[in-house]
Amino acid sequence: MAKHTLIHIGDTVRFLNESGEGRVLRFTSTEHVIVELPDGFEIPYPVSQLVVVKSDFQRDAIIPAIKMSNEVSEHIKLLLCTETQVDTGGHYALFFYNASGFHVVFTYAIELNSHLQFQLSADIGPYQRYHVCTKPQAFFEAVNLHVFQMLCYKKIEYKMQSPLTFNLSFKASQWQRFIWHAHEDFHKPVSLIWNFDFKSEMYKPKPDTEAAIVFSTSAPLNTAKQPLKHATQPVIDLHFEALDAPQHITEGFEKFRYQMDVFENELQKAFDLGCKSIIFIHGVGNGRLKSELVNRLQQKLHVSFHDASYKEYGAGATQVNLYRNGTYK
């Protein structure tokens, strides 16, 4: 019988199928809890769609708890994949996808002229993706080695893991013959570059460039080579962590201004490309981002907007329809 994970009142939890996290306030049943978001807003949520990322409970304390059917395994699975960029002149977006219950701290460097050049460092939460970079094909052809150093940990009890270093060599010219997959957590089809797949003993992974991507939170993958779904409907994630923002932007108002600049630029780009519509993902949060989007859209000509498909994007997305001279363009 599988071991179950307990969820307690006061635990910090992350949502499996959408961005964000919160704190468990109370139970409404054995299958649902009330989660308090960082802005103080309370929402009901199914236990099966939550992952405990931090728990301060005392082992001997009497704290209400319920069993979670989706146990967070000690199995570590990290995927490095690329998202096709058909509308940006051959650029590719590189993503890390953490399909495990661990936090992953990593640094990324490239080898140039026999020396390493630091690119970035980040902490990826459980079942989250991280946008490493978006670069032209020439960049991936020129780099000899991509170096990733990683440390895995949990904010609840876990077995200590050894630090990891991987030196990867891949060329973007090879990706064109890969199979591209539609996936609910990505806006465009993706292809797997490298598969970091470990047990708790941390054995050496095997490269798996041709296999289908198997995510813990995914719907069945569509392996048919179909036309790109969003070729005429860009999908822009305005969450700050998903944007390739300059490192000097650290203050809240600077982040918000950068998000709005991205919104304006992407909306104009969609008009210039003749797109029929564009999706902006802004999350639920405290509503500040969506409120500003709505305010700006109400002042623009040749657009209409409404909530995007809940099935595809959850509760925190807006679809903007674009018109030209009174005609749906």
Residue 191 lies in a domain: yes
Q: What is the pLDDT of residues 272-292, one digit of tens each?
A: 777 788 999 888 766 788 888
Most confident of 5-19, 21-35, 87-101, 215-229: 21-35
Same domain? For 59 and 85 the reply is no
Phi-psi region of 191 (alpha: psi -120 to 50; beta: other; left: phi over 0): beta
> Higher pLDDT residue, 206 or 315?
315
Domain harbouring 165, CATH code: 2.60.40.1600
- Among 23, 51, 68, where does a domain finish? 68
Same domain? For 61 and 118 the reply is no
Domain harbouring 44, CATH code: 2.30.30.390
Structural domain including 113 reads: 76-198
Residue 37 lies in a domain: yes
> Higher pLDDT residue, 260 or 207?
260
Same domain? For 165 and 271 the reply is no
Work out the mean pLDDT of the chain and round it to a whole number.
Answer: 72
Residue 112 lies in a domain: yes
pLDDT score for 232: 58
Residue with token string 């077995």 = 159
> Higher pLDDT residue, 194 or 228?
194
Most confident of 5-9, 146-150, 202-206, 320-324: 146-150
Same domain? For 53 and 80 the reply is no
Whether residue 84 contacts residue 180, with contact meaning beta carbons closer than 8 Å, is answered with yes
Same domain? For 95 and 60 the reply is no
Same domain? For 96 and 183 the reply is yes
> Higher pLDDT residue, 7 or 145?
145
Residue 173 lies in a domain: yes
Query: Environment class of residue 133 by beta-carbon count within 10 Å: exposed (0-12), middle (13-18) or buried (19+)?
Result: middle
- Among 68, 90, 118, where does a domain finish? 68
Same domain? For 106 and 181 the reply is yes
Domain count, the chain: 3
Residue 204 lies in a domain: no
pLDDT score for 320: 92
**CA 143, CA 153: separation in Å to the nearest integer?**
30
Same domain? For 117 and 36 the reply is no
Residue 137 lies in a domain: yes
Same domain? For 271 and 190 the reply is no
Q: What is the pLDDT of residues 20-56, one digit of tens each?
A: 788 888 887 778 888 888 877 888 888 888 887 776 5
Same domain? For 246 and 289 the reply is yes
Phi, psi for residue 172 in degrees, rounded to 5: -65, -25
Same domain? For 122 and 168 the reply is yes
Residue 105 lies in a domain: yes
Domain harbouring 278, CATH code: 3.30.1370.110
Q: What 3-state DSSP class applies to 136?
A: strand
Dihedral (CA of 136, 140, 142, 143) sign? positive
Same domain? For 80 and 174 the reply is yes
As a whole-number percent, the residues of the chain with pLDDT over 70 amount to: 69
Residue 229 lies in a domain: no
- Among 68, 92, 111, where does a domain finish? 68
